[in-house]
Structure 1
Amino acid sequence: MEKEVDIFAPVTDLGKGDALEAWRWLVGDTASVRLLTSMGDIFFVRKEGILKKERVYFLDTGAGEMELASKSWKLFREMIKTMDGVPGHWFKYSLLKEISDEPLEQGNCYSPNILPGLGGEYIKENFSPVSWIVHVDMAGQIHEQCKDFPPGTPINSFSLDVQKQP
């Protein structure tokens, strides 16, 4: 029998405060978080265009990249319900199955020790459970500091604002 895993992180405080504060440089001012995956990635909505339609985006916090997931929340919900046409990298399901020996505790997600966008690998040994707030905030700060570096640039240190952390 195949092991079932929860693709969404067990969080109840996702809408409190500004979960995307450290990512505003990438997601913009109108982005509003909706879902957090167990792997620490975010689905958010952003109002766009003259009609201010809400588009759904996927934010890969490990890679520091975002992509359009759906043209509307309604279409997105239908896609997730059936999982029809859902790209594999959104949930990293194979890796999630490997690392989820025990369920995540409330408020946690799996976070890479070294962000894949900075050379870390999508392997079991690179991930551990962490507070989702710490993961999302730190990943956003690190990616913002590195966004203009050419690929392969050696990175010696980061500066992190930890005052917001619990």
Structure 2
Amino acid sequence: MEITLNDLTINPEGVDLDELLSDWNWAMPEPMRPVLLTALGDLFAQGETGVVYFVDVIEGHIRVVAEDGSVFEDLLSDMEFVTDHFFPSRIVELREAGIELEANQVYSHQLPLVLGGNDELENYETSDVRVYISIQGQIHEQVKDLPEGTVISDVEIEDIE
């Protein structure tokens, strides 16, 4: 199956990008706005300083990937960068398994990895991008200070309007 960058990303039409990261404020090094959403629910966001960050919603980390937008655009043609951040082989597996995305959906884990889920195909589903990113931000904020290996039994998720 041939795959393009369009297959690895989602169109943000209809998504309020100014609100998308509201549940990630606790982790932001500076105010930022999403510039590219991956099909697996991660995203790239540009800060007010021009720096481009990778928001890893699975791991709960935000890190610098480029000092500005033009460097980021160059990275999008680097196969190693694309493989490391967009996981094309996983997208192919999901599509071959018949799991297709609708508008404003991303692939997500039914049980998040941080809560003990696994990264097997059986643990994948599709979710609304806004809901998924919000829930992941809330979960990671609640568990960020727990020691590794802590058993998590109670996570509270706020309603998303």
| Shift in Å, 1:78 | 2.0
- Partner of residue 67 from structure 1, selected from 54, 63, 69: 63
Instruction: Find the counterpart in structure 1 of residue 94 from structure 2.
Output: 99
Counterpart of 1:86 in 2: which secondary structure? Answer: helix
In structure 2, stretches of 5+ residues that fail to align are: none
Structure richer in helix, relative to its length: 2
Distance 1:66 1:109 in 2: 19
Stretches (4+) displaced over 3 A = 14-17
Amino acid at match of 1:128: E
In structure 1, stretches of 5+ residues that fail to align are: 48-52
Instruction: Find the counterpart in structure 1 of residue 133 from structure 2.
Output: 136
Distance 1:147 1:133 in 2: 21
The question of whether the paired residues in 2 share the 8 Å contact of 1:63 and 1:118 is answered with no
Q: Percent identity?
A: 26
**Number of residues paired by the alignment?**
157
Counterpart of 2:75 in 1: which secondary structure? Answer: helix
Amino acid at match of 1:99: L
The question of whether the paired residues in 2 share the 8 Å contact of 1:95 and 1:123 is answered with no
Amino acid at match of 1:26: A
Counterpart of 2:81 in 1: which secondary structure? Answer: coil
Q: Per-residue displacement from partner, 1:26-82 (whole Å, max 9, x unpaired)?
A: 0145111111100000100113xxxxx3111111111111221111111111221x2
Q: TM (normalized to structure 2)?
A: 0.88
The question of whether the paired residues in 2 share the 8 Å contact of 1:9 and 1:39 is answered with no
Counterpart of 1:11 in 2: which secondary structure? Answer: coil
Distance 1:125 1:73 in 2: 36
Instruction: Give the superposed CA RMSD.
Output: 1.8
The question of whether the paired residues in 1 share the 8 Å contact of 2:17 and 2:34 is answered with no
The question of whether the paired residues in 2 share the 8 Å contact of 1:40 and 1:110 is answered with yes
